[in-house]
Each structure stands twice: as structure tokens, then as C-alpha cells.
């Protein structure tokens, strides 16, 4: 929501009037002067404009903090028909077949409602889809989350977006989530989330050949089968989580098949795929303090690699295990994954979180239980050690 400023006002006044934390208001309006002139458009995060006749159903706790309409002017042609109403519930339902279009639509909704977040592309997929990152927070500690490295694990994107939806509301309204107060996290942590690393693959799994955009070789890779539910790779038939220079040669030598396929093929060389390169570049440029990559399935997580993991990783692993009930596994016989490379490259904590248990792709009906057990772990990733 936007309002028109009056001469002599300041952001602190609007923070008090709308009961919005000042850091969120400042980050929503980074170029606003200390003393506002007339006519400046000020973004008020966490509010929506609702038609006046609908406002009767809004409780006294929800709407506009006792403000009289004469005290501000809305940036709306039909101001008299609308009132500002505080957002009190999540803005969308993530419990759906979460494809790339759903991601873009929901990111747009969040960016408009919570103007203190930064939503941007960090690169493009093989088919030219933007790989989107959400970034917010003021802290010195930087924590990164990602989902859908593997196409048929698209439920990880839904989990991340459901969490983001709830987390931003809780920060804006100074609420707690999983027993943790959220606004202090905004001040302590810089959060990075890439909800869908592999948008081409996700759309192929959910929509079939129409999502291949004329790339007919995927049908050959899939053995002529038009059902792509078991597809893990990107649209080139390369497993993006076997693409990183952390003993990639070992995976290349022992992996089957030896050519592009629905799963497991590590590529012709490390970082051959634009999606893998985008995540590598992001990690190198942002100096993350820890990363959590969401996958399915197994109700366990992996936190070690080659002895490069720091002592802090053990402490975090114990916390994650306690909060989620997931089994902490230090080492497995696997290489070339994103968290493997991150641990090896930066000597910082990295985690591969295997959500749920069953056969991929996990059914949408499992989303509520997966989210319930994962939420405390996601929150601990922000809170522990920061």
C-alpha cells in the first residue's frame, strides 16, 4: 500500500501510526529523506486496500490503527471507496501443484505486500526462465535456502513459499513463528531464498511435453514415455545436484547413465548448466554463513563433507535433529552436490535436508505434515548461532 506524504512528516511518524516496525518501513522506502516533503509516495508494508463495504467484516484489531482518513492520503484514484487493512493471514495457499507460474504469481503478491523484500533474478534456466531470489533482513549473518534442485521434488518450493508467506507476515506484525520471535531475526540475519532452482524441470514434471518448448529430445531421454513424474534433471537431462566441483570426477566415473537422462547424469563437465552456475555465482558473491538445500525424501539431513565442515555444523545438526525429528547424517558416499561444494569451498555449515518420506514425487497430500515437521528446522536455521 502507498500513501502520499505531507510536509514535515517523517517515517517514524508513519511507523507509529500504522504500527509497522521502523526498520521495515525504512527498508521499504530506502530513498526517503529524514523530513518528508509534500507528495512523496510512501510504501506501507503489510497493508492492503479493501473496498469500504468489505471493511465491516474487519475487526478493530485489524484495520488502520485508529487513523482518521484526513491524516493521510492514499495513492488510489478512488480513495473514498477503500480503507487500508492490516494483513492478518497468509496471502496465498502454497498447497498446490507448485509450478513456475505459481512461483512468479506468489512472489509478485509478496513483493507488493511486503515492500521491504528484494525479489530479483540471479540467472536464467536453459529455457530462459528467471531463477528468482528473495532477499531481506539487516543482519551480519547471511543464511541461504533453496529448493527444487531436482524437478520431481517441486514440493520443496511449495514448502519454502509457504514458510516465506508466514515469515514475512510475522516479521511485519511482530509475531512469533514456531515459538521464535521474528522481528529480531530481521535485525540479526540477512536471508536469501531461491525457491526454485530448476524451473524448466519442475514444469516438465507437472505439465509434460508442452513445457519442453519444442525440446523434443527430452522424450528420447525419457524412453519415449510422456509421463515425466520421475524426472529429476534439468531440461538438458543433467542432474543439477551432481554438477559441482567437489570430486565431480568420482561421480562422473561411477554414475549411470553416461549421457543425458531423467536423473543422475552429472554433465560433460562441472557447472555445464546455467542453473548450477547461477547458484555457484550467488554463493561466491554473497559470502553466506550457512546454506540449507531442501530435497525429498527420507526424513533425514546430511551435514558433513570430506572433513571440511566446521565444529559449528555439529551444533547446528544437533539442533536441527531435535527440532524436526529428522535423522542427522554426517557423511554419505556422494559427491558433487551443492552443499558438498559449499562446505569444501567455504569451510562453513551446509545442509541437504531430505523432506518427508516415501517415493518421489511425494504426493501433495503430504504437504501439511511435511511443513509441520520442517518449520522448526527452517526457523532454527535463522535463529541458531545468529
The domain limits of the chain are 2-86, 100-200+271-383
Question: Is there a contact between 366 and 358 (Cβ–Cβ < 8 Å)?
Answer: yes
Q: CA angle at residue 206 from 204 to 211, to 5 degrees?
A: 35
66: pLDDT strictly greater than 70 = no
Arithmetic mean of pLDDT, 169-182: 97
Give the range among 43-57, 209-223, 269-283 with minimum mean pLDDT. 43-57
Q: Which fold has domain 100-200+271-383?
A: Aminopeptidase (3.40.630)
Question: Is there a contact between 44 and 18 (Cβ–Cβ < 8 Å)?
Answer: yes
d(CA 374, CA 3): 38
58: pLDDT strictly greater than 50 = no
Question: Is there a contact between 355 and 159 (Cβ–Cβ < 8 Å)?
Answer: yes
Whether 354 is catalytic is yes
54: pLDDT strictly greater than 70 = no
Residue 276 pLDDT level (bands cut at 50, 70, 90): very high
pLDDT at position 143: 98
Which of 166, 300, 309, 354 is the catalytic position? Answer: 354
Tens digit of each residue's pLDDT (9 = 90 or more) over 335-366: 999 999 999 999 999 999 999 999 999 999 99
Q: CA torsion angle for 46, 48, 52, 56 (degrees, to 10)?
A: -50
31: pLDDT strictly greater than 50 = yes
Residue 71 pLDDT level (bands cut at 50, 70, 90): low
Tens digit of each residue's pLDDT (9 = 90 or more) over 133-151: 999 999 999 999 999 999 9
Question: Is there a contact between 85 and 50 (Cβ–Cβ < 8 Å)?
Answer: yes
d(CA 299, CA 182): 26
pLDDT at position 65: 44
Name residue, grid cell 485489524: 62
pTM passes above 0.75? yes
Q: Which residues contact 166 (CB under 8 A, 6 or more apart)?
A: 90, 177
Question: Is there a contact between 279 and 266 (Cβ–Cβ < 8 Å)?
Answer: no
Note the helical H segments in 91-173. 100-113, 155-172
Amino acid at each position: 500500500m502507498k500513501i502520499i506524504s505531507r510536509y514535515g512528516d517523517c517515517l517514524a511518524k508513519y511507523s507509529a501510526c500504522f504500527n509497522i516496525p521502523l526498520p521495515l518501513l525504512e527498508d521499504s522506502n530506502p530513498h526517503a529523506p529524514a523530513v518528508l516533503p509534500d507528495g512523496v509516495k510512501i510504501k506501507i508494508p503489510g497493508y492492503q486496500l479493501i473496498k469500504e463495504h468489505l471493511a465491516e467484516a474487519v475487526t478493530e484489531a485489524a484495520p488502520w490503527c485508529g487513523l482518521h482518513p484526513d491524516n493521510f492520503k492514499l495513492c488510489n484514484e478512488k480513495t473514498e471507496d477503500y480503507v487500508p487493512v492490516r494483513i492478518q493471514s497468509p496471502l496465498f495457499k502454497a498447497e498446490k501443484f507448485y509450478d513456475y507460474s505459481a512461483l512468479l504469481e506468489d512472489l509478485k503478491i509478496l513483493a507488493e505486500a511486503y515492500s521491504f523484500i528484494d525479489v530479483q533474478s540471479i540467472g536464467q534456466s536453459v529455457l530462459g526462465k528467471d531463477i528468482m531470489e528473495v532477499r531481506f533482513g539487516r543482519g551480519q549473518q547471511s543464511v541461504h535456502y533453496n529448493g527444487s534442485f531436482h524437478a520431481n521434488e517441486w514440493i520443496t518450493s511449495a514448502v519454502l513459499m509457504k514458510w516465506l508467506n508466514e515469515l514475512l507476515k510475522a516479521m511485519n506484525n511482530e509475531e512469533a513463528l514456531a515459538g521464535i520471535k521474528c522481528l529480531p531475526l530481521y535485525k540479526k540475519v540477512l536471508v536469501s531464498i531461491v525457491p526454485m532452482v530448476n524451473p524448466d524441470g519442475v514444469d516438465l514434471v507437472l505439465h509434460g511435453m508442452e513445457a519442453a518448448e519444442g525440446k523434443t529430445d527430452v522424450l528420447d531421454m525419457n524412453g519415449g514415455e510422456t509421463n515425466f513424474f520421475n524426472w529429476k534433471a534439468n531440461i538438458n537431462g543433467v542432474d543439477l545436484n551432481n554438477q559441482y566441483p567437489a570430486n565431480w570426477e568420482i561421480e562422473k566415473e561411477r554414475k549411470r547413465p553416461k549421457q543425458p537422462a531423467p536423473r543422475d547424469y552429472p554433465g560433460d563437465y562441472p557447472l555445464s548448466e546455467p542453473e548450477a552456475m547461477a547458484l555457484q555465482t550467488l554463493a561466491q558473491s554473497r559470502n553466506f554463513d550457512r546454506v540449507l538445500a531442501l530435497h525429498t525424501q527420507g526424513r533425514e539431513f546430511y551435514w558433513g563433507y570430506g572433513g571440511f565442515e566446521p565444529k559449528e555444523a555439529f551444533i547446528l545438526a544437533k539442533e536441527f535433529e531435535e527440532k524436526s525429528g529428522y535423522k542427522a547424517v554426517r557423511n554419505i558416499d556422494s559427491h558433487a552436490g551443492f552443499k558438498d561444494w559449499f562446505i569444501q569451498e567455504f569451510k562453513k555449515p551446509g545442509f541437504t535436508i531430505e523432506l518427508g518420506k516415501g517415493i518421489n514425487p511425494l504426493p501433495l497430500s503430504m504437504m501439511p505434515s511435511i511443513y509441520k515437521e520442517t518449520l522448526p528446522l527452517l526457523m532454527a536455521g535463522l535463529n541458531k548461532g545468529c
